[in-house]
Amino acid sequence: MRSGDARMNTTKGSALIVGAGPGLGRSLAAAFAGDGHRVALIGRDGPRLKTLADDLVDAGHSAVAYSADAAAPGLLATVLAEAVDDLGEPDVLVYNAAFARPDRPTGISVEDWATSFAVNVTGAAVAATTVIPMLREGRGTVLFTGGGMALNPSPDYTSLSVGKAALRAYAHALHEEQREAGVHVTTVTIRGFLSPGDARFDPDVVAESYLELHHRPQDQWRAEYVYG
């Protein structure tokens, strides 16, 4: 399902935001739309995404909402390809989806382990593998939303800690594979909790760091950017 305005601005490629819900996802979509990209907002909550896309369109930007679950790899790949067909070749992929809930090491069901890995890791790999061959002129940026729990695991958020650690490892490996090909891959390891109005951790402030990373020259590329 899609909704929004896909008016073409050919000066920049599209930006695909997976996990574009409220909070950081909304801020990322607004930041890249404000930078002149046609934005695809991809997530599970279609009506909420439509509202976010409509807000961007009302502000004069090009944005389209697409409904997809990051835990469903086939659907995610199909929707990403659909977004590229609608909005043109991408410059940017941001994978911001996460399975985040309190859980303890010995209290996690097999089903929740599978869902956590599907969203936090497999979905990221599917998105990257799908989009990288579509990047405009074979170049572009892939940004993953990481977390400080990848570095300092929490026993109160065990599956998220494990998922972010695995995502961090994948991002480092993908960075090494893609760097010489001209694709900038990095994980943004956010060491703190997002808080609207906070000078450092307001989602709009954090989103600007993603935009800055996208514009960095190749000699400043790193596999990981620790924020906070």
Give residue 176's domain range: 2-227
Q: What is the chain's pLDDT, residue by residue, as a tens digit (228 residues)? A: 455 555 555 579 999 999 998 899 999 999 999 999 999 999 999 899 999 999 999 999 999 999 999 999 999 999 999 999 999 999 999 999 999 999 999 999 999 999 999 999 999 999 999 999 999 888 899 999 999 999 999 999 999 999 999 999 999 999 999 999 999 999 999 999 999 999 999 999 999 999 999 999 999 999 999 999
At 37, phi and psi to the nearest 5?
A: -90, 150
C-alpha–C-alpha distance, residues 181 and 174, integer Å: 11
pLDDT at 89: 97
Residue 90 φ/ψ, nearest 5 degrees: -85, 150
Q: What is the mean pLDDT of the chain?
A: 95
pLDDT at 21: 87
The pLDDT value recorded for residue 4 is 59
Q: Cα dihedral sign for 133, 175, 97, 167?
A: positive
pTM of structure = 0.94
Q: Single out the residue of 84, 185, 101 nearest to residue 136, CA to CA.
A: 84
Distances (CA, A) of 150 to 97, 126, 157, 162, 192: 15, 20, 11, 7, 12
User: Whole-angstrom Cα distance, residue 128 to residue 199?
Assistant: 31
Domain total in the chain: 1
Of 10, 6, 7, the residue nearest 137 (C-alpha): 10
Q: What is the CATH number of the domain that holds 217?
A: 3.40.50.720
Whole-angstrom Cα Rg for the chain: 16
